[in-house]
């Protein structure tokens, strides 16, 4: 999938005019690309469209219009766009009550490295997590992580030919699996292998 370039971004003025319509479309697009792994974990699969929306939002919020600052935003967010052999997702660990969240984030250290995806007939592919910076310390993991799942050419071919996709986590403190992935999400993710 092609990375986003500055020339493909809207000006702040144009984005302000088109934002309500773009926002409405993005809500549905993100919903179609979201996966819940148990009651307290969700993955939002990123693509070029989600990244462009995020960059436009950052430019709007921060009132960024200088070329160097725009380039810095693109450098930050472009790595979230799948490269054709992988899927990329933002992982969120979600507990609504602060005391429970604090306790669970302590128990879930290493969680991001125990997330996997599987094409039927192949071994699971474990996530490469947080390539930009560490999001875990000696006492807890973060509630947000960035995941990359790398697939072999034979896995991608099998998925395109109809093999089911599954996903889950096998952390000792949080073990859940979705097998198979919903067909709508599967279709979204297959498009990321282009």
pTM of the model: 0.93
pLDDT averaged over the chain? 96
C-alpha–C-alpha distance, residues 16 and 27, integer Å? 17
39 assigned to some structural domain: no
Residue with tokens 């986590």: 169
Task: Find the mean pLDDT for residues 147-157.
Answer: 98
Q: Which domain holds residue 62?
A: 10-34+46-80
* Domain shared by 17 and 96, yes or no: no
| pLDDT confidence bin for 118, thresholds 50/70/90 | very high
Q: Categorize the per-residue pLDDT at 101 as very low, low, confident or very high, splitting at 50, 70 and 90.
A: very high
Mean pLDDT across the stretch 154-159?
98
pLDDT score of 54: 95
Give tens-digit pLDDT for 57-90: 999 999 999 999 999 999 999 999 999 999 999 9
Whether residue 20 is found in the same domain as residue 50: yes
Confidence check: pLDDT of 41 > 80: yes
pLDDT band at 36 (very low <50, low <70, confident <90, very high): very high
Is the per-residue pLDDT at 132 higher than 90? no
d(CA 41, CA 139): 20
Tell me how far apart the alpha carbons of residues 140 and 107 are, in angstroms, rounded to a whole number: 7
Q: Quote the pLDDT of residue 80.
A: 95
The mean pLDDT of 153-175, rounded to a whole number, is 98
Specify if 128 maps to a domain.
yes
pLDDT exceeds 80 at position 1:
no
Residue 133 reports pLDDT greater than 80: no
Is 100 found in the same domain as 75?
no
C-alpha of 144 from chain center: 10
pLDDT classification of 183: cutoffs 50, 70, 90: very high
In a domain, 164, yes or no: yes
In-domain check, residue 107: yes
Could you tell me what percent of the chain has a pLDDT over 90?
A: 93
3-state secondary structure the chain: CCCCCHHHCCCHHHHHHHHHHHHHHHHHHHHHCEEECCCCEEEEECCHHHHHHHHHHHHHHHCCCCHHHHHHHHHHHHHHCCCCCEEEEEEEECCCCHHHHHHHHHHCCCHHHHEEEEECCCCCEECEECCCCCCECCCCECCEEEEEEECCHHHHHHHHCCCCEEEEEEECCEEEEECCCCHHHHHHHHHCCC
In a domain, 62, yes or no: yes
Residues 163 and 91 in one domain: yes
Q: In the chain, how many domains are there?
A: 2
For residue 143 the two structure tokens come to 């509630």
């Amino acid at each position: 999938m092609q990375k986003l370039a500055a020339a493909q971004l809207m000006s702040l003025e144009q984005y302000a005019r088109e934002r309500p319509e773009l926002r409405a479309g993005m809500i549905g697009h993100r919903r179609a690309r979201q996966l819940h792994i148990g009651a307290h974990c969700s993955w939002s699969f990123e693509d070029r469209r989600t990244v462009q929306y995020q960059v436009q939002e950052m430019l709007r919020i921060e009132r960024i219009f200088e070329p160097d600052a725009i380039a810095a935003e693109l450098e930050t967010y472009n790595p979230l766009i799948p490269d054709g052999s992988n899927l990329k997702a933002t992982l969120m660990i979600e507990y609504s009550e602060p005391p429970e969240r604090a306790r669970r984030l302590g128990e879930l250290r290493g969680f991001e490295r125990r997330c996997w995806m599987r094409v039927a007939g192949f071994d699971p592919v474990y996530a490469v997590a947080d390539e930009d910076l560490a999001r875990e310390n000696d006492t807890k993991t973060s509630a947000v992580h960035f995941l990359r799942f790398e697939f072999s050419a034979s896995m991608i071919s099998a998925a395109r030919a109809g093999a089911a996709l599954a996903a889950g986590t096998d952390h000792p403190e949080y073990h859940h699996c979705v097998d198979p992935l919903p067909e709508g999400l599967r279709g979204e993710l297959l498009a990321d292998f282009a």
